[in-house]
Structure 1
């Protein structure tokens, strides 16, 4: 396990408020890349062009909410678990608002991302083995709780269950509503559930017939599939985040790493804008939706750019070592009738969306209210 020293917190209210204007306000790009077939095009919001990436929106919202409630004192440290992207957002928010940031990652975190997080001033600790239940995420949370015991004044945003995570994407919803005259289909990657939960409500109030498609990773537990080791990072989960608004999705797609890599590389070669696992997955599903929903306006969010993934998604040796260059690519989703009916191993689609936690709760029978016999 790699351990960073605990530092004294800085004086209260030492921050850089000038940074705040750099978050959000990102453009839309029209994507017409063949993924893998010709498609009429969809809109992609390029979050890589906002400082701190997409997760800076959530990070700022969670820290500001905690400050308003008195849960985060001026200058106090922030401690969080991350697979990388939220870590960048928290590093940005910590600099802007004046809080040291302590992150718990794992040894699957790319070397370039470790270096970048530390370059931005975050203190990074790594767990070196997944937990028997809950995988890397559960192992990171266990280590995070140990840090909280050592830093009782620290604040844990708990991105998976914090409603301020979703609230951070309300400005993005307003941006999309201003940038688009109409929207028929919204495609959202799902990890913590924050950005989808923050977008769906406002956009459905603007366009009540809006169809929402969730995009998950194979091997993820979020929508009721069995938990498996996952190569893809940034979407999917081995635990059940409470921020996920299961009821708001019309359908869910699970995408495999080979399909995501193929989509990312096609985007980079022909549209110049690309990203990582989440970007490839939502691009693939958005192109499919634009083909099958004739005349529909389709939009999605590209959470970050390609730079973090140069040693994985865009690296031939990495892809060969994991068999991604030898995989038979799915060119359309396999339809399954229920998340428990079949395990998704490539690209699958299901129009029955369930909350696996709610489904597992025992039902309480209520006696019928009748008159006297």
Structure 2
């Protein structure tokens, strides 16, 4: 076959149809386990899907003019998706992040042609996310005609995951439980919405980090990136969740490393947290329960954190395996959690009485 007839795949065609892996021991006993959708096999991870979809929909509606600048806040993974979308559709991209972004990710985003803008101080109530969003607003004023995807509130961030849901349904035939990490709320809402139409009894289990305010806990400085929030994203489909689990950094590190050593597949903070919870579900639910878990990324950007012994030792993340069972609380605001904890009653925190801080953070 000569060069002129060699088949090629367009850049956007590299996204989707990611592998599915059966995860068993040591997360569940022999004969039990869960299915993990390995979204790290997308060029930049799971958020390649909404990065492309949000840009394509905005262009179709005329909100994003040809050649206009895309400006957005990101903790990393959506930045990769937007860099890809900018390359595919011819848009310059500016990404606003914070000092917690790994230097390797900054270099990679820059290599892909994005401009990286770093805020220096967190917002007093909305943390790094609100500080980044405020910077996005100022940058948009400096670039007339620019466009912000607003991933936290954009419904296209949710609908972008319809293909992922259909891939899972096609591959597994039936799904009883879906386990998703929650950050902007996009993939948990988008995938569960489609799967609920196919499997009305589907249970959605959310996985958050300690120190995140998404499900009604107090906002605290967070070590884990890629899940959690210090604001209240409106894409989070609170009514879809059967329960939520909060996971601590050391617990996620243990799960990430056990995944790597037992299954030759792993990822970052979100992957470890999801694997911990999905493994517990596989151990405790009936043996024939079909559990699907979404692994949002791979391990590459975490080589200096999750997989670095010096970093983990300095942050007290190598203290041994997590408890075999999570703590349980009856209300999301019953107490502040500091280790793996679950709550079977999920509500929108903005509906909790007297939550003035929540309303302030949403602004």
TM-score (norm 2): 0.93
Which one of the candidate residues 187, 203, 218 is aligned to 2:179? Answer: 187
Cα distance in 2 for partners of 1:176, 1:98 equals 31
Give per-residue Cα distances to partners, 1:283-342, cap 9 Å, x unaligned.
010111111111211001111100100000001111111111237733211010001112
Which residue is 1:355 aligned to? 348
SS in 1 for 2:207: strand
* Structure 1 position 321 matched with structure 2 position 314: yes
SS in 2 for 1:250: strand
Which residue is 2:336 aligned to? 343
SS in 1 for 2:10: helix
* Structure 1 position 159 matched with structure 2 position 151: yes
Q: Is the 8 A contact 1:17 1:96 kept in 2?
A: no
Cα distance in 1 for partners of 2:284, 2:136 equals 44
Q: Is the 8 A contact 2:254 2:318 kept in 1?
A: no
Cα distance in 2 for partners of 1:300, 1:98 equals 34
Q: What count of residue pairs does the alignment treat as equivalent? A: 347
Please list, as runs of the form range in 1=range in 2, the aligned pairs for 1:257-268 lying within 5 A after superposition.
257-268=249-260
Tell me: CA distance 1:31–1:17, structure 2 relative to 1, closer, same or farther (3 Å).
closer
SS in 2 for 1:214: strand
Gaps of 5+ in 1: 1-15, 363-373
Which one of the candidate residues 186, 190, 198 is aligned to 2:190? Answer: 198
Which one of the candidate residues 254, 263, 270 is aligned to 2:262? Answer: 270
Which one of the candidate residues 144, 147, 154 is aligned to 2:136? Answer: 144
Q: Is the 8 A contact 2:176 2:291 kept in 1?
A: yes
RMSD: 1.6
Which residue is 2:290 aligned to? 297
Q: Is the 8 A contact 1:39 1:290 kept in 2?
A: no
Which one of the candidate residues 24, 30, 44 is aligned to 1:32? Answer: 24
SS in 2 for 1:71: coil
Cα distance in 1 for partners of 2:343, 2:45 equals 30
Which residue is 2:226 aligned to? 234
Give per-residue Cα distances to partners, 1:330-364, cap 9 Å, x unaligned.
321101000111211110000010101133489xx
Q: Which segments of structure 1 move beyond 4 Å, counting only runs of 4 or more?
A: 36-39
Give 1:38 deviation, angstroms. 6.3
Give 1:140 deviation, angstroms. 0.7
Please list, as runs of the form range in 1=range in 2, the aligned pairs for 1:1-373 lying within 5 A after superposition.
18-35=10-27, 40-294=32-286, 295-326=288-319, 329-360=322-353
Q: Is the 8 A contact 1:184 1:297 kept in 2?
A: yes
Q: Is the 8 A contact 1:33 1:266 kept in 2?
A: no
Give 1:34 deviation, angstroms. 1.2
Give 1:25 deviation, angstroms. 1.1
Cα distance in 2 for partners of 1:241, 1:310 equals 29
TM-score (norm 1): 0.90
Q: Is the 8 A contact 1:278 1:302 kept in 2?
A: yes
Cα distance in 1 for partners of 2:221, 2:29 equals 30
Tell me: CA distance 1:136–1:327, structure 2 relative to 1, closer, same or farther (3 Å).
farther
Tell me: CA distance 1:225–1:37, structure 2 relative to 1, closer, same or farther (3 Å).
farther
Cα distance in 2 for partners of 1:90, 1:33 equals 36
Gaps of 5+ in 2: 1-7, 356-363
Tell me: CA distance 1:171–1:222, structure 2 relative to 1, closer, same or farther (3 Å).
same
Tell me: CA distance 1:358–1:323, structure 2 relative to 1, closer, same or farther (3 Å).
same
Tell me: CA distance 1:122–1:338, structure 2 relative to 1, closer, same or farther (3 Å).
same
Give per-residue Cα distances to partners, 1:169-208, cap 9 Å, x unaligned.
0011111111012111100100000001111111011111
Q: Is the 8 A contact 2:182 2:188 kept in 1?
A: yes
Cα distance in 2 for partners of 1:109, 1:200 equals 29
